[in-house]
Structure formats: C-alpha cells, structure tokens
C-alpha cells in the first residue's frame, strides 16, 4: 500500500531552511548566544516520562528540494506533556546531528510551532537496519530542483518506544534561532537501510551541523510514551 494518496493543492507553510554551505558552517554562529544546537546528550540527567500524543496525523503536502536535504511541509497536531504543538515541516540530516548513547546514521527533524510562535523540534535518531517504507516513498517521489504536491502521512516515523532527551536549544540552520524546545528520541523502531542511505547520499552531501557547546545547560533523559 502506498503512503501517498491523491494529490491536494499545497498550502502556504513557514519554511525555515534555505540553500546552505555546510563547508562554511563555522561562520554561521558569529554573534549568536550560548544555547545552540546540536549538542552531545550523553551527560543527561534522569527525569520522568515524556508523553507524546499525535492528535492529528503529521501529513506532508509538499516535498521540496532545498538543495541540502528533502524538506516536507505539512500540518498536524502533537501534544507533548500537555502542551499543544502544530507540525509544520520535516527534513532529514545525514549524518545525525546529536550525539547520544548509540550509533546512528541519520536524524529526522519534525518542526512544530505553538499558537504563540514558540518552536519545538521532535528529532528521531535513526540507526542502520531494515528499509523503512515511508523513507522509500519519500525517496521514490523526490524530484530534484522541484517542489511537488504530495499527501504523505509521516506519523509512522514516530517510534513506538524510546529514550527521550529534552533540552533548550536552537535551530541547527541559520537563522539559528534560540529558545527552541528539543525532544531527541533515541530508538530502534525506525531504521534506514544501507541502500536507502546510499540513495540519499547520491542526492545530497553531508548536512549535519557540528556539535555545539552545551554551556552547562540542563539536559534531561527519560523514557517516552507514544500515542498515534
């Protein structure tokens, strides 16, 4: 069964990424603060369970080649520990940006926004394993140098279980806006195959930002519950 349904007219969305040169990323952080992302998560302190509930599916309605990754703009609603967030876009980083306790090769970012404009990123760290059918569909549908209308349910890229790291950081691409709430999920449900990874690398070069200083920020670690 295809994850793509009949095309619908695209809606306007806030898109936060643009054409970037990752070879020159050292210059991105000039003049910015002390809460930048990504970071090394391995010194996180234990905390209570983080509850994720997708109340409206994460539906992508546009697939965009922004020349550094595949970007998927869309809509959906997520409640995280009783806070409501609206899904606006997703994208893929290869290699993974955050460092956690297990080896991962990719990182999925699901960018959310609150009604008052606050930003939240749900990040899924992805290890090598079996091919993922949703990732296959995204790669199959992708058209270089184009924006395509799609109707793709991304909710299946949220795992059924995992360890959740929470901290306050920034966007990992310019304008590197701080005050972003991060939920980084280390898990084994969602995997990418070697062949899928190869296909992605044939389209794009490395697009991970270098690890930033934690600057004594509190980083919390706990189990997650996921309702979809």
107 lies in some domain: yes
184 lies in some domain: yes
pLDDT at 18: 52
Collapsing DSSP to helix, strand or coil, 228 comes out as coil
pLDDT at 19: 62
CA gap 129, 135 in Å, rounded: 13
Query: Cβ neighbours of residue 1 under 8 Å, at least 6 residues apart?
Result: none
Q: How do 220-227 and 50-65 pair as beta strands?
A: parallel
CA gap 162, 53 in Å, rounded: 14
20 lies in some domain: no
3-state helix, strand, coil in the chain (%, to 5): 10, 40, 45
55 lies in some domain: yes
Per-residue pLDDT tens listing for the chain (228 residues): 334 443 443 333 343 445 688 988 988 866 778 999 999 999 999 999 999 999 999 999 999 999 999 999 999 999 999 999 999 999 999 999 999 999 999 999 999 999 999 999 999 999 999 999 999 999 999 999 999 999 999 999 999 999 999 999 999 998 899 999 999 999 999 999 999 999 999 999 999 999 999 999 999 999 999 999
54 lies in some domain: yes
CA gap 213, 210 in Å, rounded: 10
pLDDT at 6: 38
- In total, how many domains does the chain have? 1
CATH code, 208: 3.10.200.10
Query: Cβ neighbours of residue 219 under 8 Å, at least 6 residues apart?
Result: 39, 41, 43, 44, 45, 165, 166, 167
């Amino acid at each position: 069964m295809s994850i793509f349904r009949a095309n619908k007219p695209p809606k306007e969305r806030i898109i936060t990424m643009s054409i970037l040169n990752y070879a020159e990323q050292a210059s991105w952080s000039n003049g910015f603060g002390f809460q930048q992302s990504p970071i090394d998560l391995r010194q996180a302190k234990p905390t209570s369970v983080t509850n994720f509930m997708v109340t409206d599916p994460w539906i992508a309605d546009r697939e965009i080649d922004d020349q550094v990754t595949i970007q998927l703009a869309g809509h959906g609603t997520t409640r995280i520990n009783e806070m409501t967030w609206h899904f606006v876009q997703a994208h893929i980083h290869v290699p993974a940006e955050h460092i956690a306790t297990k080896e991962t090769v990719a990182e999925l970012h699901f960018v959310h926004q609150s009604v008052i404009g606050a930003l939240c990123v749900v990040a899924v760290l992805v290890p090598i394993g079996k091919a993922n059918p949703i990732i296959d569909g995204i790669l199959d549908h992708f058209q270089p140098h184009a924006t395509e209308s799609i109707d793709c349910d991304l909710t299946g890229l949220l795992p059924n279980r995992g360890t959740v790291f929470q901290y306050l950081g920034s966007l990992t691409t310019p304008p590197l806006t701080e005050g972003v709430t991060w939920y980084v999920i280390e898990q084994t449900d969602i995997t990418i195959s070697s062949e899928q990874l190869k296909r992605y690398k044939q389209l794009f070069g490395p697009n991970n930002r270098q690890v930033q200083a934690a600057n004594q920020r509190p980083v919390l670690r706990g189990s997650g519950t996921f309702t979809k």
